[in-house]
Amino acid sequence: MRIGLVGTGLLGNAVGLNILRSGHELYAFNRTKSKTAELEKNGAHIADSPKAVAEKSEIVFVVVKNADAVRKVSFGDRCISCGAKDDLVVADMSTINPNSAKEIAEQFAKKNITYLGAPVMGGPNVAINGQLVMMIDGSKNAYEKYEKIFKMVASKVFYLGNIGTAHSVKLAMNLQIAMLALALSEGITLARGASIDPQVFLQILNSTYFKTGMSETKAYKMINDSFEPTFTLRNLKKDLDTINEAARSFGLHLPMSAKANEVYQNAVDAGFGDIDYTGILAYLKDATKL
């Protein structure tokens, strides 16, 4: 199958490598062309625009930073909709406001293009082996047509119904990530403040009901100040912005989300934005001294 990919950052690159290893033909575009080098080396066709990707593909995955970036590659100069055929399906893996997803879907529909929300959980380390968790919304017919492709990209796929539902769940999931990273980091910081070896804290935590995948894996990198990014702190801060925007649009105030957003903003301002999101521990190490 001819598959398109617009956006080849850390996640997009890993998704693309998995598509190539699965034997499909891949057409890829990224604004910074150097980020397509590994895909090209592995057999991808590198396009000079989203339009060129759409012209060659049956389905296009979009993996970009935010809703504005989705709109730009979808409807801007030399865009996806500029080169799309009527039966094209666009699967948007970006993390965006569900209200933006609805607007983008409506705009695509005017051009007879089907838009599916397809955000995922999991980083590049699992994406490269097709082990993501994917949430999909939109046309059920389009979902069923490409179900095998989605199940190649992700080991678990949940079809959720109307446009906006998948991105809503994705935001709720990323909220868990932000809160877990903060809780774990404050627990480690408190243990250190009491002159307790953080490994002892983790050993006890991970022997209880309250353990998480994060406390069992990433936490050991965290206490050794290893914050090589799989998903940057700056990107999680961006997602917290989107979470709080979406909550307001639903008539909600999420007090802990608002506070988490403030803490992550402080970390970005202090220069921690480009390390892994679990680097919130490194920020707290500096910021919590009385």
* pLDDT tens per residue across span 167-202: 999 999 999 999 999 999 999 999 999 999 999 999
Q: Alpha-carbon torsion 47, 52, 57, 61, what sign?
A: positive
Domain ranges of the chain: 2-161, 168-288
The two domains 2-161 and 168-288 share their CATH topology (first three levels equal):
no
Structure tokens at 133: 């968790």
Q: Is the pLDDT of residue 36 over 60?
A: yes
Mean pLDDT of 66-87: 94
Average pLDDT over residues 55-59: 96
The owner of tokens 């970390």 is: 267
Q: What is the pLDDT of residues 102-157, one digit of tens each?
A: 999 999 999 999 999 999 999 999 999 999 999 999 999 999 999 999 999 999 99
Q: What does the pLDDT look like over 143-172, one tens digit per residue?
A: 999 999 999 999 999 999 999 999 999 999
Angle formed by the axes of helices 165-193 and 233-249, nearest 10°: 130
**249 pLDDT above the threshold of 80:** yes
The dotted CATH code for 168-288 is 1.10.1040.10
152-155 own/partner pairs: CB under 8 Å, 24+ apart: 152/18, 152/19, 152/22, 153/15, 153/18, 153/19, 153/61, 153/120, 153/127, 154/120, 154/122, 154/130, 155/130, 155/131
pLDDT at 193: 95
pLDDT at 290: 57
The pLDDT of residue 274 is 97
Tokens of 271: 């220069």
Q: Distances in Å between the alpha carbon of 134 and those of 145, 157, 247?
A: 16, 5, 22
199-239 confidence digits (pLDDT tens): 999 999 999 999 999 999 999 999 999 999 999 999 999 99
- The sign of the torsion formed by the CA atoms of 168, 169, 172, 174 equals negative
CA dist list (Å): 188 to 183, 236, 247, 264, 277: 9, 20, 30, 17, 15
Round to whole Å and give the CA distance between 42 and 26: 10
Beta-bridge partner residues of 46: 28
Average pLDDT taken over every residue of the chain: 96
In CATH terms, 2-161 corresponds, of 1.10.760.10, 3.40.50.720, 2.160.10.10, 3.20.20.480, to 3.40.50.720
Considering only the C-alpha atoms of the chain, give the largest distance between any 2 of them, rounded to a whole number of Å: 64
Determine the Cα–Cα distance for residues 50 and 31; give it in Å rounded to an integer.
Answer: 9
The residue with tokens 């080169």 is: 83
Measured distance CA(271)–CA(225) in Å, rounded: 15
pLDDT level of residue 288 (50, 70, 90 thresholds): confident
Q: How confident is the model at residue 85 (pLDDT cuts 50, 70, 90)?
A: confident
The set of residues, in sequence order, having a beta carbon less than 8 Å from that of 216 and lying 6+ positions away, is 206
Share of the chain above pLDDT 70, in %: 100
Rounded to whole angstroms, the Cα distance separating 131 from 150 reads 11
